[in-house]
Amino acid sequence: GNSVTQMEGPVTLSEEAFLTINCTYTATGYPSLFWYVQYPGEGLQLLLKATKADDKGSNKGFEATYRKETTSFHLEKGSVQVSDSAVYFCALSEAGGTSYGKLTFGQGTILTVHP
Amino acid sequence: NAGVTQTPKFRILKIGQSMTLQCTQDMNHNYMYWYRQDPGMGLKLIYYSVGAGITDKGEVPNGYNVSRSTTEDFPLRLELAAPSQTSVYFCASSPPATGTSGKEQYFGPGTRLTVT
């Protein structure tokens, strides 16, 4: 079956530091890959996505590149802000067949950014 | 555009009580999902639906039931609440995948349920 593994958290950084959150996956087909963000007390919001190998998703200064050869989709940001403090989830979805858009999530990584 | 709405936001149940968590989306999405999120954990799929009248079990369906009589609504029913069902419940919707690209899901704000 499909699975997503994220780096263990929590991650604590100072403002303007560089962020990397690792994500690797296993899938039987050719999945689409997503990063979702969850701010305290809220639901999940899509941060960025990539639908095929070598695609780069980007949004709000965050980036992630779909690497089929290493089955990875690592999240990066060059300079984090206090407002980036949240839980980040890596997820995959396979198109077609009986997948019906179901998402497989990683366990989430808590990010705390200090001023 | 309201997106996905859920009610109630919070609820405390006694063991053995029943309740229905409501979920409505106004995006005309065919696919809808219910997840639970336990503290410090990722999301686990409870049930999903691919259209009105069609539902199927996810990863953790025991203790729950669903129905889908309209495209917009996808209520989740807890018949005999147990402490193990204390969790945050999220409803989500998405359009069908096209070609080889999976589509993102849109999430509601969640319902925080405590069973004591």
Return the number of CB contacts < 8 Å for A and B. Answer: 74
Average pLDDT, chain B: 92
Query: What amino acid is encoded at B22 in this protein?
Result: Q
Question: A63 pLDDT exceeds 90?
Answer: yes
Name the residue of chain A whose CA is nearest to B106's CA: A45
pLDDT tens by residue, B81-99 = 999 999 999 999 998 766 6
**Rounded-to-integer distance, Cα A71 and Cα A53, Å:** 9
Q: Do B43 and A52 touch (CB under 8 A)?
A: no
Q: Do A44 and B103 touch (CB under 8 A)?
A: no
Q: Residue A39: its pLDDT value, please?
A: 93
Strand B111-115 with B10-13, pairing: parallel
Q: Residue A9: its pLDDT value, please?
A: 83
Label residue A25 exposed, middle or buried (CB < 10 Å: 0-12, 13-18, 19+).
buried
B30, B71 contact by CB (below 8 A) = yes
| CA nearest to A76, candidates A92, A58, A50 | A58
Q: Residue B7: its pLDDT value, please?
A: 96
Q: Residue B68: its pLDDT value, please?
A: 97
CB neighbours of residue A33 within 10 Å: 28
B112, B37 contact by CB (below 8 A) = no
pLDDT tens by residue, B33-44 = 999 999 877 899
Q: Residue B1: its pLDDT value, please?
A: 66
Categorize the per-residue pLDDT at A25 as very low, low, confident or very high, splitting at 50, 70 and 90: very high
> Is the torsion defined by CA of A51, A34, A105, B74 positive or negative?
negative
Q: What angle do CA B95, A45, B94 make, to 5 degrees?
A: 10
**Rounded-to-integer distance, Cα A91 and Cα A56, Å:** 15
Give me A100's structure tokens: 């019906």
Q: Do B102 and A31 touch (CB under 8 A)?
A: yes
pLDDT tens by residue, A74-88 = 999 999 999 999 999
**Rounded-to-integer distance, Cα B44 and Cα A110, Å:** 18
The residue ranges of chain B whose pLDDT is under 50 are: none
pLDDT tens by residue, A5-24 = 998 789 999 999 999 999 99
3-state secondary structure of B83: helix
Q: Residue A42: its pLDDT value, please?
A: 87
B18, B43 contact by CB (below 8 A) = no
Question: A97 pLDDT exceeds 70?
Answer: no
